[in-house]
Amino acid sequence: MQGDFYICDSKATHKNFIQHSERLQEEHKYITYTWRIGADRSIDQNKLVHIWFGEYAAHLLNKNVKSVTRGEIEGMKRHCKKKFYAETRHPWLVIVRIDPKSGETARDFDSTRAYKVGEMYEFMTWLQGQAAFDGLALESKGDFAKRQRNDK
């Protein structure tokens, strides 16, 4: 079991799922199940975009992705958000930070975690194009790839 889902990839894990399900039924009396058949190799958009930031930084710095520093990745994030904002002027990219004690305010870029699904999709599509322009192919995977297939 991982979080709120079970991966049944053997008779033993399937048996454990059945036992767990029976315990939940006894305790809660009502359960809704969903399932996927086949290996789920999905990755959410936010995880993928952070992988891409590292790959893109490594490409531009001409170094191995494993040697890219946290500071270089943060710099890549800021660069991409700044450039995307300059091109689109989407208000959802920017937040106003407020210091509760002093009342001082400062504009900053919001975390990608706060982007709505469609907003993230637009940003990632743009990012793929930017990377391609710079000679890097960022691989579509997981949730983003599924959305791309549905977009066509």
39 pLDDT higher than 60? no
Lowest mean pLDDT among 8-17, 89-98, 142-151: 8-17
Q: Full-prediction pTM beyond 0.75?
A: no
pLDDT for 151 equals 72
Question: What are the residue ranges spanned by the domains of the chain?
Answer: 1-40, 45-151
Q: What is the pLDDT of residues 44-92, one digit of tens each?
A: 899 999 999 999 999 999 999 999 999 999 999 999 999 999 999 999 9
The two three-digit tokens of residue 45, written as one number = 């958009």
pLDDT for 1 equals 44
41 pLDDT higher than 70? no
